Amino acid sequence: MAFAAIHPEAGRIDATLPDLGRGLTWDQVHKTRPRVALRCPECSHGVHAKVSARKLRYFAHDPGRPADCAWLNESLEHHLLKLELATAIRAADWHAELEVRAPDGTWRADVLASSHDGTQRVAWEAQLSPITAEDIQERTERYWAEGIGVCWVSPGGKAPWIGNVPSIRVQEPRDGQPWTVVDGPAAFHFEHGTWIAVDDPELTAFIRWVLHGQTIPHRVRPRYRRIWYPTSEGYRRRSLIWTTSRHVDTETRHEAMRQRQDERKRQREEQERQAEQQRQTEAEARRQEEERQREAQRQEQERQRKIQAAEDAARWAEQRRQREIEAEQARQRREVEERQRQEQARAAEEQRRRQEREEELAAGRWWAQLSPAQVDQLRDAVAEPLWKREATRVEFDPLGVTVDSAYGIAIHVRRRLHGILRPSPASLHRLPPVVPVYVRNVREAHELVSTGNIDPVRVVHFDLPDHEQMSLM
């Protein structure tokens, strides 16, 4: 079914208009005899005027119609929606043409709204059947390329392109309510920072707003594409909505605010990042400084340790040198002492030899004073009294004069030392202790005692003459 047809004389006629748009009456095309040769504007097949049971005027294809005519399979519902759109456009004091196609066939509008001066056109598409996103986008851009606005209208709940192209979803009349727009227009709420769907305006009012430029299609900024629907209390994603320029400005203002916030946040984050970087840099610098100080301290300690070690080594070397010097001095001292000791020993030995020599010479002189007879005389003087008194035999040392007997002659009685005969005055220090000594006379006794080297009580003397008595010769 269709609302438009081509009249053989009047041209294109419209069943929705009282004068069919060409100053004709419905009766001039409906059930006339002979029949008016009306044609389908789309496929040029023959059509005839009809009235539905609900008094709806339309054109129907004659029998033998082509299967591919665009209008052929449209539903009544589709037609009623187109009629509603056309009625609302006319109520806004614009022209409305149904089922219009471009002269070159690039587009075909369900309802084309035109301003009186013909400068503005808006195509209203009642889209009931499924259509791909690519198709609807392409058809939209084709309108825009011709300078024609467009609004896709869906009466159903399932139209995935709602919000992708300029579009609305409408609700058919019920409970005495007129046609309403339930999806498409939205208002921006600054305090919420979001678009909120406008609550079900009447379709007639919406179309008037659009045609008068009060409501415009708007591509929502990416940040705001989750739109709040109060009636369903949920969000839906929409990139193209209908709204007023005031709300567009509000969105722009909000976006600017958000960008300022973003910028402030970015600056804050950048400041924090720089602060963190600064902290890290400072921490690294501190760490390096501490490391440097530790290294410097370590090197200083090492230096001090080396200095200490060098000082210790020098001190030890000095001490060793001192000990060596002292040892050398001690050695030299010992050598000197040893030399002195040897010298003293040599001197003492020399002294002893000289002493012995002198004693020997003195003893020689001592004994030279006596003749052998005088010696015998003295021996007898010692021996005779003992023999006479005690019958004791006196034995004179057969060695004669000996050094051990102080250059005198040892006298034994019964194998025991009895005394020393005439020791030399120069050698009295050699006398064995205690035993008496025997000399010739008081002069010799005096000579011994005058040395001071013998106790006078030990000296026994006789009265023998110093010179040989002639009588004894």
Minimum distance, C-beta of residue 150 to Zn ion, in the bound complex (Å): 23
Sequence-ordered alpha helix ranges (H) in 42-91 = 76-91
Minimum distance, C-beta of residue 81 to Zn ion, in the bound complex (Å): 19
* Separation between Cα atoms, residue 217 and residue 194, nearest integer Å: 17
Q: Of 45 and 101, which CB lies nearer to Zn ion in the complex structure?
A: 45
95 Cβ contact list (under 8 Å, min separation 6) = 89, 113, 114, 115, 116
Minimum distance, C-beta of residue 218 to Zn ion, in the bound complex (Å): 37
Q: Of 59 and 161, which CB lies nearer to Zn ion in the complex structure?
A: 59
For 252, other C-beta atoms within 10 Å of its C-beta total 13
108 Cβ contact list (under 8 Å, min separation 6) = 42, 70, 99, 100, 101, 102
Minimum distance, C-beta of residue 137 to Zn ion, in the bound complex (Å): 27
Contacts 24+ apart (CB under 8 A), 42-51: 42/2, 42/69, 42/70, 42/71, 42/99, 42/101, 42/108, 43/68, 43/69, 43/70, 43/71, 43/72, 44/6, 45/69, 47/2, 47/5, 49/5, 49/15, 50/1
Minimum distance, C-beta of residue 151 to Zn ion, in the bound complex (Å): 25
Tell me the backbone φ, ψ of residue 195, rounded to 5 degrees: -80, 140
* Separation between Cα atoms, residue 151 and residue 164, nearest integer Å: 11
The tokens 């005394």 sit on which residue? Answer: 419
Tell me the backbone φ, ψ of residue 146, rounded to 5 degrees: -90, 5
Q: Of 61 and 169, which CB lies nearer to Zn ion in the complex structure?
A: 61
Q: Of 47 and 80, which CB lies nearer to Zn ion in the complex structure?
A: 47
Minimum distance, C-beta of residue 46 to Zn ion, in the bound complex (Å): 9
Q: Of 43 and 431, which CB lies nearer to Zn ion in the complex structure?
A: 43
Binding site for Zn ion (CB under 5 A): 40, 42-43, 45, 69
CA 376 to chain centre: 127
Q: Of 45 and 379, which CB lies nearer to Zn ion in the complex structure?
A: 45
* Separation between Cα atoms, residue 133 and residue 301, nearest integer Å: 82
Minimum distance, C-beta of residue 33 to Zn ion, in the bound complex (Å): 24
Say which amino acid occupies 10: A
Q: Of 74 and 359, which CB lies nearer to Zn ion in the complex structure?
A: 74
Q: Of 45 and 90, which CB lies nearer to Zn ion in the complex structure?
A: 45
Q: Of 67 and 368, which CB lies nearer to Zn ion in the complex structure?
A: 67
Strand ranges inside 190-280, DSSP E = 194-197, 216-219, 226-229, 234-237, 240-243
Q: Of 2 and 449, which CB lies nearer to Zn ion in the complex structure?
A: 2
CB 109 within 8 A of CB 123: yes
For 200, other C-beta atoms within 10 Å of its C-beta total 16
Minimum distance, C-beta of residue 131 to Zn ion, in the bound complex (Å): 20
Tell me, what DSSP letter sits at residue 39? B
User: Which residue number has the CB closest to Zn ion?
Assistant: 40
Minimum distance, C-beta of residue 50 to Zn ion, in the bound complex (Å): 14
Greatest C-alpha distance within the chain: 242
CA 29 to chain centre: 93
Minimum distance, C-beta of residue 103 to Zn ion, in the bound complex (Å): 18
